[in-house]
Structure 1
């Protein structure tokens, strides 16, 4: 598992960007002592996959380098992350082994820690819906259709 001080410092940084009030944790019951303002909820993998959508959490934290995830196939990991990304959490942080890089990139996650900077077998990934896709310059009303023909022709 990733060092606790890396996780707690990362939580501090994420809290500065956007306030975190509710958090969901998968893989290990993680409840940092100094983050008492965050309401943590822990689920096992099987509980989470059967969990109906009742609320959206501010943060989803997944520790995929634990024993609970070692028996899961790639499709089950993908289902879990997609459900978490699309329904359950606004922002997701995932700790994985280096071998899961292709899965994480294919689901739209961005890497937080460069794997060449450390010797351990873990990578830190995030997904934030607010920064997932940058709006291109051409995607605004200035460049739509032919404004000079508005109210002249019916399309």
Structure 2
């Protein structure tokens, strides 16, 4: 399991960027910050959980014994459901072997794996920073009413 002080400092940094009031945790109980209302679910409970609210933070620990025996397809189901429905931002603690899965789902790495000796990495998904909007994607370039009578389209 990742060092607790790394998780605590990461939660403080995320809270400073955007307030976190509710958090969902899968894989291990985490009660790091008393200001955050934590909801813990195991894998089966989470996959059967109906969508009733969107949490500010989803926290997944993939390097526990329960999560290590899961097939990669089920890990992907958990992360996709969390990403698309249940959480605004997601933080994943994983081992190096999950790098391909996390990159394919659009996660970005928070801690460089070469900066420490342990077999863990921190990943995040934030829809606000997932894709930058290009310059050409605005209403200025969508239609050119001044050219409607000049050119045949």
Normalising by the smaller structure, the TM-score range is over 0.9
Q: Of the candidates 93, 107, 121, which is equivalent to residue 109 of structure 1?
A: 107
Q: 1:37 Cα shift?
A: 1.2
Which residue of the partner structure matches residue 27 of structure 1?
27
Which position in structure 2 is the counterpart of 1:44? 42
For residues 51-96 of structure 1, the C-alpha deviation after alignment (integer angstroms, 9 at most, x for no partner) is: 1101100000001000110111000000000000000000000000
Map of 2:57 onto structure 1:
59
**Can you give the 5+ residue segments of structure 1 that lack an aligned partner in the other structure?**
none
Which residue is equivalent to 2:67? 69
TM-score normalised by structure 1 residue count: 0.94
Name 1:4's counterpart in structure 2.
Answer: 4
Segments of structure 2 that go 5 or more residues without pairing to the other structure are none
- Deviation per CA, 1:9-57: give whole Å up to 9, x if none: 000000000000000001001111xx21110000001100111101100
How many positions carry a matched residue from both structures? 153
Q: CA RMSD in A?
A: 1.6
**Runs of 4+ more than 6 Å apart:** 151-155
